[in-house]
Amino acid sequence: MALLEPSGPQGTAAYRVPTESRRNWLALADEIDPEVARYFLVSARCGCFMQAARSLNVKATLLRKRLAQLEEQLRRGLFSYHGNGLVLSRDGQHLQAQLLALANERRLPVVEQPLIRLAVAAPILHDILGRDLIALLRRNASVRLEIIALDSHLSLHAVEADVVLWLADMDERASGPSFATHAPQALARLRYLPHIAKRYSRLTTRPDSVEDLDDYMLVQWQPDAQVDALQPWNQLVQQRLAAMVQVHAYALMLEMIRCGACIGLLPQYMSSVDRGLVALPGLLADSMQRQVWLAVNAQVRHPEAVQMIVELIVGTFEGRRDWFD
């Protein structure tokens, strides 16, 4: 490798590459496969192979294999570790400069990712789907995803999305999105029960009748007040003259049950989501059930990307089948 020539006063850290060396590096850079060049530039920018793999939506093992092949091709080491950080070697810095110059010269366009709009019932998004969506983003940082939380039928009818996941009463299959979709798919049947935090109620003193609820504050997620299938609970709440609070945020209702000694209505699966919560069966005679439905817009523009989201959702529910049975 050609020696570097100082470009500043003696003792400074500024250097420049000799003209002949720049020509050599430019020739080498021009011969590199564009995909490998992109792998290298993203890794150099991220300073972390794992983060670069996420951004490129490839496996970290594949990324490192291709970069190792690049180093073998150039017969130069391009990366080194400084403490816990990944940094470019001097050869790597030269290659980065020439690849960036080539990219600017060629004006390579950014690869646009399709925008997928996903509308999900707020409880399903919070309790069931959220973690798997985060895992998807960790694996593929280039995804363009708009997530819309649905808190009522009004919001369901007011939005148009590529994929829709909503809650309906058992006899309300037709009450789905207002736009045309492919045939909806039933994913799970949810049974609703009052819940309380274990920390605020010992087993021997937990309420086992409606009258016992007089000693507790009730909390209700306001959108549930309009749901016909939940009328036994809604009527109980409406009769309250004290010790009752309504909230518009689903997450806040959960916190009031967990930390505020409140009793609230939740899907039966919540004891699997949060071991600190316990269901209170037998308080209300009528069974309260709802259905989870999935539908895909009939006019999606990016079917492959949409199918990835659909498979994620279906896989999530299949993996948690014991929560609903």
For 30-57, what is the mean pLDDT? 87
Long-range contacts of 230-237 (CB under 8 A, 24+ apart): 230/192, 230/265, 230/288, 230/290, 231/286, 232/284, 232/285, 232/286, 232/288, 233/192, 233/194, 233/265, 233/284, 233/288, 236/210, 236/284
- CATH class given for the domain over 115-324: alpha beta
Give the tens place of pLDDT for each residue, 181-223: 999 999 999 999 999 999 887 776 778 788 888 888 999 999 9
For 21-46, what is the mean pLDDT? 80
CA distance 319 to 314: 9
The answer to whether the 5-106 and 115-324 domains have the same CATH topology is: no
83 token code pair: 């403490």
Mean pLDDT over the full length of the chain: 84
Least confident range from 96-110, 250-264, 272-286, 293-307: namely 96-110
Indicate if the pLDDT at residue 169 is higher than 80. yes
pLDDT band at 109, cuts 50/70/90?
low
For 21-26, what is the mean pLDDT? 63
Domain ranges of the chain: 5-106, 115-324
55 token code pair: 């951004």
Highest mean pLDDT among 42-51, 132-141, 205-214, 267-276 belongs to 267-276
- CATH class given for the domain over 5-106: mainly alpha
For 166-194, what is the mean pLDDT? 87
Write the burial class of residue 246 (CB in 10 Å: 0-12 exposed, 13-18 middle, 19+ buried): middle
Q: What percent of the chain has pLDDT over 70?
A: 87
| pLDDT value at residue 316 | 95
For 46-68, what is the mean pLDDT? 89
Give the tens place of pLDDT for each residue, 266-282: 999 999 999 999 999 88
